[in-house]
């Protein structure tokens, strides 16, 4: 079970109208983290869709999930097929698993609480090395990222300003994480750290009380009240759904969740937005309670991006709050228009 998004996917479950995903792993030797810690072998997992001769596009996932989130039918079936916005016969689509996520290196591999305490900066630098050193790609047509991946997209534009034509950050803001977003992340982080069974990350069995607290935090972060009510319109149904969620928490790893959530602690691209040279199309949905449009943050900050634009998609039966980023039909028109005018 993934805490950030209750969506189970496998690479074998791809749609018939686009090429089968190809998996790969690359080992980075002696990867140095921002803390100065060095991991002798950092495994970076990824998948690709389409031929390497196509125009490179990279998709970046959200917290606690993996690149597989974009292989679900709601995204891939809408975008990867012939004639669609990210037609895999024209584009080479790259889906990395970030550090600490999917089957890339993470605390639960064995180091537990002794795994380097990575940040978004470490994650983006690892993605860059995978892209340039292993896949041999020196320029991207487009980077799309959702939630955490959207925040990574903003960082890509600042850290490697000449490496891409365009950036499409989804369901995020280009400012430090604050307000309810930060507070609910603290529910996740503190819930795990304050469980006596966590034992500074060296637990022998999962700290269940901490995982329950974390699951509640993610439910508040990612849950869409409208959709949750529609799926559980009675007290009995809501109780059954909640109990089912809580019964599955032991299938997750507390350190993996803690590290992934805490990695956002120094995220703040706002001071360097004027350094971005790529075209930026930021897209949020009006029902995202983590990044509510009423704040006016995106309207203010996107003006500081030389080639920046912002689209707010209205709430509808098709949107799903903060996790709307994996619903491809919401974005296909905007992506097609963007790629046609680059």
Distance CA 279, CA 265 (A): 27
Six-digit token pair at 248?
Answer: 């599955």
Q: Quote the number of domains for the chain.
A: 2
Q: Indicate if 38 and 123 belong to the same structural domain.
A: yes
Residue of 144, 29, 14 lying closest to 73 (CA atoms): 14
Say if residue 175 is exposed, middle or buried (CB neighbours under 10 Å; 0-12, 13-18, 19+): buried
Six-digit token pair at 161?
Answer: 């300003």
Last residue of a domain, one of 262, 285, 303: 262
Say if residue 53 is exposed, middle or buried (CB neighbours under 10 Å; 0-12, 13-18, 19+): exposed
Q: Indicate if 75 and 117 belong to the same structural domain.
A: yes
Q: Indicate if 226 and 103 belong to the same structural domain.
A: no
Which CATH number does the domain housing residue 315 bear?
Answer: 3.40.50.1820
Instruction: Give me the torsion for CA of 253, 130, 48, 148, rounded to 10°.
Output: 50
pLDDT above 70 (res 12): no
Last residue of a domain, one of 262, 284, 299: 262
Domain extent at residue 193: 179-262
- DSSP summary character for residue 276: -
Which CATH number does the domain housing residue 199 bear?
Answer: 1.10.1740.110
Q: Indicate if 237 and 277 belong to the same structural domain.
A: no
pLDDT above 50 (res 61): yes
Q: Are strands 279-285 and 91-96 parallel, antiparallel or unpaired?
A: unpaired
Q: Indicate if 56 and 160 belong to the same structural domain.
A: yes
Six-digit token pair at 162?
Answer: 């000449």
Q: pLDDT digits over 209-267, tens only?
A: 999 999 999 999 898 899 999 999 999 999 999 999 999 999 999 999 999 999 999 99
Looking at the domain assignment, is residue 5 inside a domain? Answer: no
Looking at the domain assignment, is residue 8 inside a domain? Answer: no
- For the segment 283-308, the average pLDDT, to the nearest whole number, is 96
pLDDT above 60 (res 9): no
- DSSP summary character for residue 315: P
Looking at the domain assignment, is residue 288 inside a domain? Answer: yes
- Residue 2 confidence class, pLDDT cut points 50, 70, 90: very low
Q: pLDDT digits over 92-133, tens only?
A: 999 999 999 999 999 999 999 999 999 999 999 999 999 999
Say if residue 200 is exposed, middle or buried (CB neighbours under 10 Å; 0-12, 13-18, 19+): exposed
Q: Indicate if 96 and 128 belong to the same structural domain.
A: yes
- Residues facing residue 288 across a β-bridge: none
Residues 6+ apart with CB under 8 A from 163: 128, 138, 139, 140, 156
Looking at the domain assignment, is residue 17 inside a domain? Answer: no
Q: pLDDT digits over 180-208, tens only?
A: 999 999 999 999 999 999 999 999 999 99
- Cβ–Cβ contacts within 10 Å for residue 13, how many? 13
Q: Indicate if 188 and 60 belong to the same structural domain.
A: no
Looking at the domain assignment, is residue 1 inside a domain? Answer: no
Last residue of a domain, one of 218, 239, 262: 262
Angle at 260 between CA 258 and CA 265, to 5 degrees: 90
Q: pLDDT digits over 265-295, tens only?
A: 999 999 999 999 999 999 999 999 999 999 9
Q: Are 307 and 341 in contact (CB under 8 A)?
A: no
What's the pLDDT at 16? Answer: 58
Question: Mean of the per-residue pLDDT values for the chain?
Answer: 94
């Amino acid at each position: 079970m993934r805490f950030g998004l209750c969506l189970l996917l496998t690479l074998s479950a791809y749609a018939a109208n686009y090429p089968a995903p190809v998996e790969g792993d690359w080992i980075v030797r002696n990867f140095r983290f921002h803390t100065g810690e060095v991991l002798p072998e950092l495994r970076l997992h990824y998948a690709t869709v389409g031929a390497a001769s196509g125009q490179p596009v990279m998709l970046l996932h959200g917290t606690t999930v993996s690149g597989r989130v974009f292989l679900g039918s709601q995204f891939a079936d809408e975008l990867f097929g012939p004639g669609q916005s990210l037609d895999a016969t024209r584009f080479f689509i790259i889906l990395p698993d970030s550090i600490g996520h999917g089957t890339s290196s993470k605390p639960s591999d064995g180091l537990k609480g002794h795994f380097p305490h990575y940040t978004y900066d470490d994650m983006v630098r690892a993605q860059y090395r995978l892209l340039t050193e292993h896949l041999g790609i020196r320029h991207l047509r487009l980077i799309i990222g959702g939630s955490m991946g959207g925040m990574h997209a903003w960082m890509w534009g600042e850290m490697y300003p000449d490496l891409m034509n365009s950036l499409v950050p989804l369901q995020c803001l280009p400012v430090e994480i604050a307000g309810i977003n930060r507070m609910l992340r603290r529910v996740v982080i503190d819930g795990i750290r304050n469980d006596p069974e966590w034992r500074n990350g060296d637990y022998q069995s999962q700290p269940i009380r901490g995982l329950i607290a974390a699951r509640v935090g993610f439910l508040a972060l990612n849950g869409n009240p409208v959709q949750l009510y529609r799926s559980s319109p009675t007290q009995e149904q809501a109780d059954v759904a909640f109990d089912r969620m809580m019964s599955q928490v032991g299938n997750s790893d507390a350190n993996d969740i803690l590290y992934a959530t805490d990695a956002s602690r120094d995220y703040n691209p706002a001071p360097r937005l004027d350094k971005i040279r790529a075209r930026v199309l930021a897209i949020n949905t009006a029902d995202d309670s983590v990044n509510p449009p009423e704040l006016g943050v995106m309207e203010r900050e996107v003006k500081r991006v030389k080639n920046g634009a912002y689209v707010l998609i209205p709430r509808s039966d098709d949107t799903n709050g903060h996790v709307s980023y994996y619903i491809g039909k919401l974005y296909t028109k905007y992506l097609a228009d963007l790629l046609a005018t680059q």
